[in-house]
Amino acid sequence: MSVNSLILVVEDDPSVRNLISATLKANDYRYVIAENGESAVATAASHNPDIILLDLGLPDIDGVEVIKRVRGWSSVPIVVISARNEDDDKISALDAGADDYVTKPFSVAELLARLRVMQRRINSFSESEQSVFSNGKLKIDFAAGCAYLDGDELHLTPIEYKLLCLLAKNVGKVLTHTYIIQKVWGSNWTDVTSLRVFMANLRKKLGDGQGAQDYIQTHVGIGYRMNKVD
Ligand code: CA
């Protein structure tokens, strides 16, 4: 899958752009480059990339605006590249429809790891439309409203089940606190502290944090993601 995937790289800083393109080239990805927001939107439309790597600070239109425009017609995975301490920007980008983020300065290994997560996300798009969701030892039967871990039914509260389904249907994608709260509670009344408590209980029931691979990954100050587990 990694061979021949086409990546659209949107970055106005030549040194970062060169690092990314050298990395992609060395790892058999194909890529196209856009140096500003307008050309990013145009290239996304003309080249139909498999993944977009998008710097948020662009000379013309803002990266978040690029996401909004591209999301008008495409669900292509978007990984945002942002500077350190720009959590608000990351959250805006994720809420606008980005899937993931890397923070500058990032390592080549980290960039490649993000791309692998996105490829697994692409591969699971079709699965997510099925009535039974399967990820490692976790199974969710949406029609029956039941979840199983290693064949045993999980005893989840209604809220925990809703949280689990939301994360599963967006497997591989980082969901912000605000997004999760709106989807699960339907309004803004529940605070992030309560969400954390529900998540901690859910993660305990999934056996997260007890070695092996975790199903749910915490992004401090940002949100949560369900990982695709082997
Ligand atoms: Ca920039």
Reported as a single tens digit per residue, the pLDDT across 180-199 is 998 898 876 668 899 999 99
Query: 129 C-alpha to center of ligand 1: Å?
Result: 36
| Distance separating alpha carbons of residues 191 and 185, to the nearest angstrom | 10
Beta pairing partners, 147: 140
Q: How many CA atoms lie within 13 A of 149 on its CB side?
A: 15
Query: 17 C-alpha to center of ligand 1: Å?
Result: 10
Where along the chain do the CATH 1.10.10.10 domains lie? 130-226
H helix and E strand count, the chain? 8, 12
Check residue 129 and report its DSSP letter.
G
Query: 80 C-alpha to center of ligand 1: Å?
Result: 11
Query: 118 C-alpha to center of ligand 1: Å?
Result: 22
Query: 63 C-alpha to center of ligand 1: Å?
Result: 9
Query: 50 C-alpha to center of ligand 1: Å?
Result: 22
Query: 187 C-alpha to center of ligand 1: Å?
Result: 34
| Distance separating alpha carbons of residues 34 and 169, to the nearest angstrom | 31
- Per-residue confidence (pLDDT) for residue 227, from 0 to 100: 93
- Measured over the CA atoms of residue 126, residue 131, residue 137 and residue 138, the dihedral's sign is positive
| Distance separating alpha carbons of residues 135 and 148, to the nearest angstrom | 11
Query: 160 C-alpha to center of ligand 1: Å?
Result: 39
Give the architecture (CATH level 2) of 130-226.
Orthogonal Bundle (1.10)
Q: Which CATH class is domain 6-124?
A: alpha beta
| Distance separating alpha carbons of residues 202 and 170, to the nearest angstrom | 16
Query: 58 C-alpha to center of ligand 1: Å?
Result: 5
Query: 194 C-alpha to center of ligand 1: Å?
Result: 36
Contacts of 183 (CB under 8 A, 6+ apart): 162, 166
Contacts of 211 (CB under 8 A, 6+ apart): none
Residues in the chain: 230
Query: 21 C-alpha to center of ligand 1: Å?
Result: 15
Q: Where are the alpha helices (DSSP H) in 51-169?
A: 63-71, 87-95, 108-124, 158-169
Percentage of the chain lying above the pLDDT 90 cut: 76
Tokens for 60?
Answer: 């013309």
- pTM, rounded to two decimals: 0.83
Where along the chain do the CATH 3.40.50.2300 domains lie? 6-124
- Per-residue confidence (pLDDT) for residue 1, from 0 to 100: 45
Peptide bond into 14 cis (omega under 30): no
Query: 170 C-alpha to center of ligand 1: Å?
Result: 28
Query: 206 C-alpha to center of ligand 1: Å?
Result: 39
Query: 54 C-alpha to center of ligand 1: Å?
Result: 9
- Measured over the CA atoms of residue 184, residue 190, residue 193 and residue 198, the dihedral's sign is negative
Contacts of 70 (CB under 8 A, 6+ apart): 40, 41, 44, 52, 76, 78, 97
Query: 36 C-alpha to center of ligand 1: Å?
Result: 9
pLDDT in tens, the chain (230 residues): 444 789 999 999 999 999 999 999 999 999 999 999 999 999 999 999 999 999 999 999 999 999 999 999 998 999 999 887 778 899 999 999 999 999 988 999 999 999 998 888 777 665 556 789 999 999 999 988 999 999 999 999 999 999 999 999 999 999 999 999 988 988 766 688 999 999 999 999 999 988 778 999 999 999 999 999 88
